[in-house]
Each structure stands twice: as C-alpha cells, then as structure tokens.
Structure 1
C-alpha cells in the first residue's frame, strides 16, 4: 500500500487561513495570481501522496462568499488557437469550461479579461460570444517595452489604457487556461487603477511549485523542473530573500528575474514595495503539510522517471526535442534515480522478451505486478488491465471472465462493420465487454467492481499505445509510461 505523505485537510485549512491573513494585511482587498491548475492538479497529487486533485478549489470554496474569479486569456492565444495539451481543447473553449466548472461548485465568476489585444479578429469574435452569454469582458493592451519600461507601464499610456475590471469582493482570484496569459500584468494593472481611485489593494501569488521551504534539490522540487522541462524553468535560491532575511528559500527563475521590475512597479504605483523578495509574494503553504518526507521523495522520483519516458515518446512522435530529454536525464542524476527504479517497466520488458510481442505490466496497490501479453483476442494493455482486475478480485489467473460469445461479436463489428484491420480488443472495448458480461455473470461483476482500486497504479507498456488506450488509463487515474517504440514500422499511427 502506498504511503500517504501529505495532510490534505490541514492544507485546506491552513492555506485558506493564510490567504485571509494576506487579505487583511492589505486592508481588505487582494488580487491573487493563481498559477498552475485549479482543477485536477494531478501533478501535485502524484508527487505529494495524499494531496487531492481538487484541493485548491475546495480551499477556495471555504471562502466563496468573499471570492470572485477573473479569467484571463491572451488575444494571441485566441488568434492562433492555442491548445491545452492535457485536455485537447483550445484556450478559448477552456475559458468556457472553466466558467461552467467554477459556477458548478458555487464560485462566482465576475469577468473575463482579454490581454495583449491589438485588434485580433478572433479576439473580437470571442468577446462577442462571451457578451452574448452575459459574461462581462474587459480588454487589456500591449505596452511597448514591457516589462522593462517602468515609467511608461505605470502611466496613463500604460496600465492606464487598460479597461478597469469591476470587482465586488475582497478576494479576486486571477486565473487562466495556461501560462503566458498575462495574469501578473492583469493584477498589477488593477493595482494601478485601484490606487488612482483611492482604493487600498494588494497583490499576492499562489504557486504550488516549487515549494519554497523545501531544499533546492528536494525530489518534489526536481519533479517540478521535470514537469516544465520544455519551458526551461529552473529552480533557484531566492537571492533577494537570502539577502534580506538570511534565510534560504526556493523560487524559480522567471519570478526571480522579474522581481526587480515588479518591485519598481509597486514603488511607482504606491510609493513603496510591500515585498522584499519573490518568496514574500507567495502564499503557498503546501510545504508545511508534508507529513512523510520519504513518501513524497519516492513519489517525486517516480514522477521524474515518468516525465523522462514521456519526453522520449514525444521525441519519437516528433512532438518534442532532445533538449528536454537531456534535461530530464540531468534531473534523474540529481535525484539519483534511473529507469531501473521503475519495477513495472522491467516487468513489461521481460514479458515482451519472453513472448516476442508487445507486453504491458501493472503494479497493484500492494506492490504485486501483473502482466499482459498480446494475443489473438486482446492487446497487451487490455490483457494486463483484465488480469489486474481479476487479481484484485481474488480470481484465478486462468479463469475466463469474458466468454467468446461476447468477444467475437465485438471483433466482427470491428473488422466487418467498421473496417478495422486489428481484431484485438483495446482497453475500452474490454471494459465494455466486461460490463456486458457482468449483467449475467457474478464473477465478471466482481472483477468490474475493482475498477476504482486501479487509481494511482503504475502501468508500463513495451510499445507506445494507441490514443484510446492511453485515454482509458488516464481516466482510470493510472500512471502510464511507454517505451519510445511503435508496435509496427508504419509511418501513420492513430
């Protein structure tokens, strides 16, 4: 059984209390830049075992009467149809998804801000769409020389040109579909406008990673670098905090590099900066809620290895470059791990060598590893999934829970009805077949009932899987890695 390393309830309580303290410190109005994912923060849940993916929104829900959400999106991202890789949807569509998601849990969404607007037709169309849906939209504009030209930025021709966002609550959470949307600039623009109106307001930043009060090379912080290897983010000691307080804290390069400019902007707006370092700006309390450091270290090391495999596969598919792979190799060296530290990978490769065909392996919650081989009926990942369910149910390995009379019609439909060349069942088809069988077969019903126990389990395939299989493992909450090899030598792969 995997160890819990993080106290989630303590996190929700202490984090909300700390944000309330920051609101009070600034006289009752705080613009909070929210980095990372508000919903479904699976990276945090993987590296901090016990962290729930929805922890951040649960924390905000404790303050929902005092909070409103402002969603920021760049006009350039709208124009080029930028896509969220984890969801496969464009940023503008994700704004609509986020509005629905926030409203669905009782959080108030006040408005949408389109940043870097310079007459983009797609941005105009999106504004029209939002307005028709009853959502207030504000436009912010490019500023020449940003962020270095502080005198221009903090003037009527800089932030002053931006439309003032009407807000009504003490906590204004600024979030976005992804990085580079302009969250910080939106916050600082609002501070400028509030100051001109005689309103006292403050700014703070909420980023879960890197965790400022963990060592620089702690695996949890190294795992953050691994997650952002393609962005060239680098964790570093906060030199401003060290100089001011004599205390070593961790931040990342972009915040450290921009801090002198941000501090100068604060001084231009209000006469002095409220912060002496990037660490001061943050409100993250995650580091105070780790209850088993060893468990978090082990989980983070596994995450680094998984990121490495993903980078290898991205290169193989033409979606990444070797620089990310090299960086991840360095991070593995710093964490003192290698692919040999992933037992499920070794098991899949052994099974593939034994059978001479693709194979997959799954590590169950108690550490047991089961494998699946390629057969005439099932793909290896489907076979491994079925074996895992039978093992969790305490059923014999050689017991057939899917009779031929259920499998054969599905294969016939695939080949004769849908024109597929591969008759073997994918993971989704196996689960559908198992569901059908469970209606009349108590053994199949028992196996299907184990599905929720697969969440958090490790999976490895000796070949890169089809999208349908990777999608099923993701939906089940399983951590999949693959060897960077295609099953066939074809040039086109679905």
Structure 2
C-alpha cells in the first residue's frame, strides 16, 4: 500500500474558504475551472490521498451559491475528440457531466458551444441537448481574439455573442478538456454583466502547476508530462516576483496571455485590475494539502513514467508527432527516470520473452503483470480461451482469496458456450473472452458457486493496483481495467500484424 501524501479534507476547507473570500468582492464571480471537475484521476495519482471528486464535493458545499456553465469547442465535436481517461467523445462527456452534476444536486445553467460556425455534427448535438430541455448558447470566434483588445471589448466583439443569464453569485465555467473556450466565455459574461451595471469578477481554479511548490518538483513536472501534447512549460511567474518579491510557479500560456487578459478586464470594468500576476488570478490551495512531500514526489515520478508509455502508444497510433514524443523523452531524462522503474514492467516483459522463446509465432506475446497492494506480482497471458486481462484478473482475485491455482472459478463448459456464441451467432473473429465477458460469467457463477463468490468479493481489492501489458489493449479491456480502478500502462506494440484492431 502506497503512502498517503495528501489531506483532502484540509484542501477542501482551504479552497472553499478562499473562494468565498474572493466572492465577497463582487456581485458575481465567474470561476474558470481548469482540469477535470469530476474524476480528476491525474490529481489522484500524483497526490496520494487526493479524492478524485474533491472539486465537485467542494462545489457541493457551495451549491446554494453556485451554478455551472459547460463549454465545448465545436471543432472538438466535429473531429470526435476523445477524453482519454473515459474513452468517450467530448460531446458524450458533456452529457455524462450534466448527469453527474445533477446527481450532486448542482444546478447546470447551460451548455455553450464555442467558435460555432454551423458545423453539421455540432448542430445535431445542439438539437439533442435542446430536445432534452437543456439550454444551449452558441458563441462565434471573435476576430483578433485575444490580442486586439479594442475590437474584442466592443459591440462587434463580445457584443455579438449572447449573454447567458445567471442567478447565483458563483458561476463555475468548466469543459471536457483544454481549448474549449472557458476563458473567452468568462470574459464575454464580464462584458455583458458590466453593461447591465453589475460588478462581476473573474478567477481561475487551476490545480496544476502548483504555484507554491518548486518549479522542478516532480509534481509540477508531472503536469508538463500530462500536457505534453499542448506543449505546456512551467515557468516562474515573473509578474508575481516583480510585484511581491515572491517565487510562484505558473505555466507559459497563462504568463504569456496575462498582460492581454488584464487589459481586457480593465477595458471592460473601466478601472485598474486587482490582479498583478497570473498567480493572483488563481484560487489554488492544493499545495497546502500536501502532508508528505516524499510520497508526492515518488507518486509524481510514477505518473511521469505512466505518461511516457501513453505518449509512446499515441505516437504508434499516429495520434501525435515525433516532436511530442521527444519532448516526453526529455522529461524522463530530466528526472533520470527509466520505464523499468515502474514495478510491473519487468515481470510482464520477462514472462512474454519466455513465451516467445518457446513459440513459432513472431507476434509479441500478450502478457499483463499486476502489482498488488501488498507487492505481490501476478501475471496473465492470452490463450485461446481468454485474453491476458481476463487471465490476470482471475489469477489476482484467486490469490487475494487464497484459492489454489488449480481450482477453476468458471466452468470450462460455460466458457466454451460463450465462445460458441461469439463465433457462430455474433460472427466474431476474436473468440478469446475479454475482461468484461469474463466478469459477467464470474458474477453469474458466484450465485451458485461459493468459491467463485469468494473470488468475486475480492474484485474491490484491485482498486489502486498497478498493471503493465506487453501489448496495446483494445478499448473494452482498457476501460474495464480502469473501471475496476487499476492503473494500466502498455508497451507500444500491437498484439498482431492485423490492421483492424479495436
């Protein structure tokens, strides 16, 4: 079991107090939320003890004072951009977010489609939302944004985009991912609020980088690894240092755009901005929740390695270019990290090589290694009956339940029947049972088989297990492992030469 390095309760108390202090300065505060509002798995991995839903629980405490606007860029809908941690498109993530926000009792004001130009897929999405009684607003791209301040803050700039009526003092503006137009939406609202004679302000809720942690701390470098495709670089906030003689960390895009954003706010309000630095704009108290710096350092290094594997796989799939891959390699070298520093990597590769030596097939053997919470290594390989994920899951829960390896949890007859269904009736060319299929079979068997029930009860103990595969997994297996709470990495190799691989 890894060490706890973060106090989530202290963080929520600090953060909510800080937000309320800032709200007191305005009739209405527009709070731009960076990162994931719900299910922040990156924060959970680099800050051991962090509650991945801490932000939404914080807002739940403020639910009587807060409502939410969700932004999504029309271009991301058109190209079916995928949210990696859930494996779903951005438009589907908007629907998922609305459901979850409502489940927490939070008011969703509306969805804003940014940089909308009548794109056909986006129009269909708007229809879908409106026919479910969700308010939708569209904003067009403003020529010269964000540099031409005079044109932006005018009737032909923010004035052409719709004002979104809100009723609560805190308006949270969130999105499925970066580049969704959250900042522009906040500034657009500020423009219209001041035209209506209301005193409105803007702040940014950005968890990473952590401003009061050293620039080269692994926690902040892990943020660079997480955003390597965006080419974000952490920097010292020179504006903050010049004004307060205090070192603070921010990232290049915020520092570069700060002078322009400050001028836009000053032109909207007609007075000097209260913010003297991009760090001033933030309401980030996450650094005050760290209780074990060494635990956070080690967890952050492991996250960087995990991101390195993900980047190599994205390059193999053609999603990113070589420049991004090389940038990730530099980040690894900066901290003198090797991919083999991730514990399950060597056992998985070693087992795969052993299989390959005794096989006539040149394909990379599909092997997964699990590092259980107690440090035990469990492996699984693909066979004609089941794939490596399925085998590793069954082997792991048998170990946790102290069940002998020779005992079958699932009847061979049941497995053969499912395979026949896949091959003959569903016409699938891949008959080895995947993780989802094996888990359903296990759940059914647990009803009548006490041994299967004993193993089934151990599934919850897979949460937090570290796993590595010698081949890239299909989407179904990858998502099943994530739903079980495992952190999975894979080598950038396909399991076969077949080009059609889901």
TM-score by length of 1: 0.95
Other-structure match for 1:407: 415
Give the Cα–Cα distance (whole angstroms) in 1 for the partners of residues 17 and 124 of structure 2: 40
Other-structure match for 1:214: 213
Q: Where does structure 2 lack aligned partners over 5 or more consecutive residues?
A: 357-364
Counterpart of 2:213 in 1: which secondary structure?
Answer: coil
Other-structure match for 1:72: 71
| Correspondence 1:378 to 2:386 | yes
Q: 1:490 to 1:152 in 2, by over 3 A?
A: same
Other-structure match for 1:474: 482
- 456, 464, 482: which one pairs with 2:472? 464
Other-structure match for 2:362: none
Other-structure match for 1:58: 57
Contact 1:360 1:459 in 2 (8 A): yes
Give the Cα–Cα distance (whole angstroms) in 1 for the partners of residues 392 and 118 of structure 2: 53
Contact 1:2 1:366 in 2 (8 A): no
Give the Cα–Cα distance (whole angstroms) in 2 for the partners of residues 82 and 491 of structure 1: 22
Other-structure match for 2:8: 8
Counterpart of 1:424 in 2: which secondary structure?
Answer: coil
Deviation, structure 1 residue 79: 4.6
| Correspondence 1:438 to 2:437 | no
Other-structure match for 1:353: 353
- 389, 395, 404: which one pairs with 2:403? 395
| Correspondence 1:153 to 2:152 | yes
Counterpart of 1:276 in 2: which secondary structure?
Answer: coil
Contact 1:214 1:287 in 2 (8 A): yes
| Correspondence 1:263 to 2:262 | yes
Deviation, structure 1 residue 419: 3.1
Q: 1:423 to 1:102 in 2, by over 3 A?
A: closer
Counterpart of 1:343 in 2: which secondary structure?
Answer: coil
Give the Cα–Cα distance (whole angstroms) in 2 for the partners of residues 2 and 135 of structure 1: 43
Alignment of 1:75-154 (within 5 A): 75-120=74-119, 123=122, 126-154=125-153
Deviation, structure 1 residue 120: 4.5
| Correspondence 1:23 to 2:23 | yes
Q: 1:164 to 1:376 in 2, by over 3 A?
A: closer
Q: 1:204 to 1:80 in 2, by over 3 A?
A: same
Other-structure match for 2:204: 205
Counterpart of 1:488 in 2: which secondary structure?
Answer: coil
Deviation, structure 1 residue 116: 2.5
Give the Cα–Cα distance (whole angstroms) in 2 for the partners of residues 474 and 137 of structure 1: 32
Equivalences, count? 493
The 10-residue stretch of structure 1 (85-94 or 288-297) with the greater mean CA deviation from structure 2? 85-94
Q: 1:236 to 1:294 in 2, by over 3 A?
A: same
Q: 1:429 to 1:107 in 2, by over 3 A?
A: same
Give the Cα–Cα distance (whole angstroms) in 2 for the partners of residues 113 and 381 of structure 1: 40
Counterpart of 2:344 in 1: which secondary structure?
Answer: helix
Counterpart of 1:390 in 2: which secondary structure?
Answer: helix
What whole-Å deviation, never above 9, does each CA across 1:165-189 have from its counterpart, x for those lacking one?
A: 2111110111122221211111112
Other-structure match for 2:327: 327
Other-structure match for 1:248: 247
Q: Where does structure 1 lack aligned partners over 5 or more consecutive residues?
A: none
Give the Cα–Cα distance (whole angstroms) in 1 for the partners of residues 82 and 384 of structure 2: 37
Give the Cα–Cα distance (whole angstroms) in 2 for the partners of residues 336 and 31 of structure 1: 41
Other-structure match for 1:450: 458
What whole-Å deviation, never above 9, does each CA across 1:414-445 have from its counterpart, x for those lacking one?
A: 33333334443322222222222212221111
What whole-Å deviation, never above 9, does each CA across 1:173-206 have from its counterpart, x for those lacking one?
A: 1112222121111111222222222211111001
Contact 1:355 1:373 in 2 (8 A): no
Deviation, structure 1 residue 161: 2.4
Give the Cα–Cα distance (whole angstroms) in 2 for the partners of residues 123 and 415 of structure 1: 38
Give the Cα–Cα distance (whole angstroms) in 2 for the partners of residues 409 and 116 of structure 1: 52
Deviation, structure 1 residue 402: 2.3
Deviation, structure 1 residue 366: 1.0
Q: 1:425 to 1:98 in 2, by over 3 A?
A: closer
Contact 1:348 1:361 in 2 (8 A): yes
Contact 2:37 2:53 in 1 (8 A): yes
Give the Cα–Cα distance (whole angstroms) in 1 for the partners of residues 191 and 478 of structure 2: 47
Deviation, structure 1 residue 41: 0.9
Deviation, structure 1 residue 83: 4.1
Q: 1:124 to 1:346 in 2, by over 3 A?
A: closer
Other-structure match for 2:308: 308
Give the Cα–Cα distance (whole angstroms) in 2 for the partners of residues 123 and 372 of structure 1: 43
Give the Cα–Cα distance (whole angstroms) in 1 for the partners of residues 417 and 451 of structure 2: 21
Deviation, structure 1 residue 321: 2.3
Contact 2:87 2:479 in 1 (8 A): no
Give the Cα–Cα distance (whole angstroms) in 2 for the partners of residues 111 and 418 of structure 1: 41
